[in-house]
Amino acid sequence: MATSTEDYDVIVIGGGPAGENAAAYAIAGSDRTAAIIEHELLGGECSYWACMPSKALLRPAEVLAAARAMPGVREAVGDAMLDRRAVFARRDEFTSHHDDSGQRRWATSAGIEVIHGSAALTGERTVELSTGGHGDPPTRTLRARHAVVLATGTIASIPPVPGLREALPWISRDATNLREVPERVAIIGGGVVATECATWMLALGVRELTLIVRGSALLASAEPFAGELVAESLRASGATVLFGTSPGAVRREQPRDTGEGRIHGGPVTITLDGSEPGEITVDEVIVAAGRHPATSGLGLAAVGLSDGRTPTDDRLAVTGVPGEWLYAVGDVNGRAALTHMGKYQGRVCGDVIAARAEGRALDGARFTASADHAQVPQVVFTSPEVASVGRTEHAARADGIDVETVEIDIAVAGSSLARDDFAGRAKLVIDRGTDTLVGATFVGTEVAELVHAATVAVVGAVPMESLWHAVPSYPTVSEVWLRLLEARRG
Ligand SMILES: Cc1cc2nc3c(=O)[nH]c(=O)nc-3n(C[C@H](O)[C@H](O)[C@H](O)COP(=O)(O)OP(=O)(O)OC[C@H]3O[C@@H](n4cnc5c(N)ncnc54)[C@H](O)[C@@H]3O)c2cc1C
Ligand SMILES: NC(=O)c1ccc[n+]([C@@H]2O[C@H](COP(=O)([O-])OP(=O)(O)OC[C@H]3O[C@@H](n4cnc5c(N)ncnc54)[C@H](O)[C@@H]3O)[C@@H](O)[C@H]2O)c1
């Protein structure tokens, strides 16, 4: 097929949240042109297979638990289970039934052209597009006057366990877009996807759920009490959590590709290394064992990057590629694999591209992605939730910071009013040298909204002495801040 060459000011490969923000910020208020090349749905993993559907599945369970924890409401609700059909219908509304026309309308209104296809770099500022799949002959060549931004995200990793890939296991895409609820489920992994997925699976009525965790803790990069409280809660909801255990081999009777979110064949038997029982049989196995950058077929070798990695400087320019024309934002660059951080990087990167295109100096904090290093907030929407920002005590000590910590149970007047079963823990990590907060973790019901106050304190380097004057309203869950400061005073 004949190819044509088209010029844009900015070309973004990958239309997830990070790429969308980079494109919009790079051309905002100018007459520059931008194209986003996307081979699936504009909006990326987050909108259709990750954040949106997972949180839409978790929220109804949280609301039901809150109702059960409130006298007067508990009696009204009784012991009814979630209505799966209604939960799935709301989930499908949130994923727009996998129709990206709303996002495309937004792109058009922002002046961005969306091109369907798979893109690969072929040299400096040059991208080839195949409108079929990867490996199909290119149909168009695009050239970028100012910048190419890589925003291709990540792909679920399947560990090389004999028989696992052949068993057609579920990955997170199936678990978030489930159409059928398997009776017996095994989840491989003990990280964020595994624990959130276990939470909604149990709420939807899975009868037997086993977490196969090779390490000794859930959510291993969080403060240790976070994983302990989540494990305790999952066990209380009927889960079996096997630590120090790996799948040795997997066999499935009649694996069948029945489609996303449908049970992929007959029962699956998993041999377990490191745990009794030595074998379990389930109706579906879910792999939640991490993700790797989506760089296959992206042509990194054509610009001198050969190991599938796109490390960046704090301007989001890919290091080792001269000329300040290649950038990487979002999950693909490995800085902080979260939607809000990818969008933040997109904003910084877009501002940098705009300033360089206009010959402006990169003066000011907005041109440096400083928050990626040790100021990253995250909420894990398990029950209890885990909300954190910055460094854990362990990470701070590993970075050579002389820290002091405060840790308390978080039942305060506001929280006990919020619900009868409010429980959890909070911890602050304080740099003794500067007397500022470098990390905070809250574990409890509905603590997600607590963490932004800590993020402001960490990013603003607010002295602990000043926090004393940030008085929490009474009666709110935020009173936990006062209790933490009092505990520090002793
Ligand atoms: C189950 C699950 C739940 C999650 N929940 C949360 C959450 O609650 N909060 C949170 O902050 N984060 C969450 N995350 C992480 C979040 O989904 C990612 O951080 C986010 O999607 C990254 O955005 P991105 O734009 O970098 O990449 P993506 O969203 O992955 O988008 C990349 C896009 O690039 C396209 N693409 C790839 N290669 C090419 C190519 N060669 N040519 C053209 N297009 C290409 C892909 O089709 C895709 O649309 C979750 C992840 C999972 C798996
Ligand atoms: N609420 C949120 O913010 C949210 C929710 C879901 C996912 N995410 C993001 O998505 C990304 C992916 O999450 P994830 O849970 O897949 O990754 P993860 O890195 O959090 O956890 C991976 C788990 O799999 C285990 N594992 C890895 N390789 C294995 C192997 N070969 N055999 C057995 N176990 C193995 C690890 O020990 C770990 O327990 C993360 O960056 C996460 O932050 C965020």
pLDDT digits (tens, 9 = 90+) for 315-327: 999 999 999 999 9
Q: Is residue 392 a known part of a binding site?
A: no
The residue behind tokens 């939730």 is 385
353, part of any domain: yes
Q: Where a domain ends, among 261, 289, 317?
A: 289
Q: Could you please report the per-residue DSSP string of 354-417? A: HHHHTT----SGGGS-THHHH--EEEE-SSSEEEEEE--HHHHHHTT--EEEEEEE---HHHHH
Residue 300 C-alpha to ligand 1 middle, in angstroms? 19
Q: Whole-angstrom Cα distance, residue 462 to residue 353?
A: 31
pLDDT in tens, 138-174: 789 999 999 999 999 999 999 999 999 999 999 999 9
Rounded (5°) CA angle 129-135-139? 30
Q: pLDDT confidence of 135, banded at 50, 70, 90?
A: low
| SS3 state at 424 | strand
Q: Whole-angstrom Cα distance, residue 240 to residue 12?
A: 44
The CATH number linked to 453 is: 3.30.390.30
90, part of any domain: no
136, part of any domain: yes
Mutate to test the pocket of ligand 2, among 45, 158, 171, 192 (most ligand atoms within 8 A of CB): 192
Average pLDDT over residues 256-273: 98
- Same domain? For 211 and 309 the reply is no
Residue 189 C-alpha to ligand 2 middle, in angstroms? 7
| SS3 state at 335 | coil
78, part of any domain: no
Mean pLDDT of the chain: 95
- Rg of the chain over all Cα atoms, to the nearest angstrom: 24
425, part of any domain: yes
pLDDT of residue 4: 63
Tell me the two tokens of residue 389: 């920002």
- Same domain? For 465 and 483 the reply is yes
- Same domain? For 399 and 323 the reply is no
Q: Whole-angstrom Cα distance, residue 96 to residue 104?
A: 12
- 208: amino acid identity, one letter: E
455, part of any domain: yes
Domain ranges, residue 272: 157-289
Rounded (5°) CA angle 205-206-207? 105
Q: pLDDT confidence of 306, banded at 50, 70, 90?
A: confident
Residue 3 clears pLDDT 80, i.e. is over it: no
68, part of any domain: no
Residue 51 C-alpha to ligand 1 middle, in angstroms? 9
pLDDT of residue 420: 84
What ipTM was assigned to the predicted interfaces of this complex? 0.98
pLDDT of residue 468: 96
- Same domain? For 480 and 353 the reply is no
- Same domain? For 218 and 275 the reply is yes
- Same domain? For 318 and 401 the reply is no
Which residue lies with its CA nearest to atom 2 of ligand 2? 380
pLDDT of residue 133: 59
421, part of any domain: yes
Report yes or no: 43 and 16 within 8 Å, Cβ to Cβ. Answer: yes
Residue 2 clears pLDDT 50, i.e. is over it: no
pLDDT of residue 136: 66
Proximal ligand: closest to the CA of 153: 1
pLDDT in tens, 364-396: 999 999 999 999 999 999 999 999 999 999 999
- Same domain? For 148 and 206 the reply is no
- Same domain? For 482 and 396 the reply is yes
Residue 340 C-alpha to ligand 1 middle, in angstroms? 11
pLDDT of residue 159: 98
DSSP state of 267: -
Residue 1 clears pLDDT 50, i.e. is over it: no
Residues within 6 Å of ligand 1 by CB: 13-19, 37-40, 44-46, 50-51, 54-55, 118-119, 151-153, 172, 176, 193, 294, 298, 330-332, 337-340, 342
Please work out whether the CB of residue 60 comes within 6 Å of at least one atom of ligand 2. Answer: no
Q: Whole-angstrom Cα distance, residue 135 to residue 266?
A: 33
What's the domain count of the chain?
Answer: 3
Average pLDDT over residues 270-280: 91
- Same domain? For 187 and 132 the reply is no
Q: Whole-angstrom Cα distance, residue 153 to residue 294?
A: 6
The CATH number linked to 271 is: 3.50.50.60
pLDDT-wise least confident of 57-66, 409-418, 475-484: 409-418
Q: Is residue 83 a known part of a binding site?
A: no
- Same domain? For 107 and 217 the reply is no
- Same domain? For 170 and 125 the reply is no
Q: Where a domain ends, among 265, 289, 313?
A: 289
Report yes or no: 146 and 129 within 8 Å, Cβ to Cβ. Answer: no
Q: Where a domain ends, among 332, 367, 402?
A: 367
Residue 134 C-alpha to ligand 2 middle, in angstroms? 26
Q: pLDDT confidence of 417, banded at 50, 70, 90?
A: confident
Please work out whether the CB of residue 337 comes within 6 Å of at least one atom of ligand 2. Answer: yes
- Same domain? For 282 and 341 the reply is no
Q: Is residue 29 a known part of a binding site?
A: no
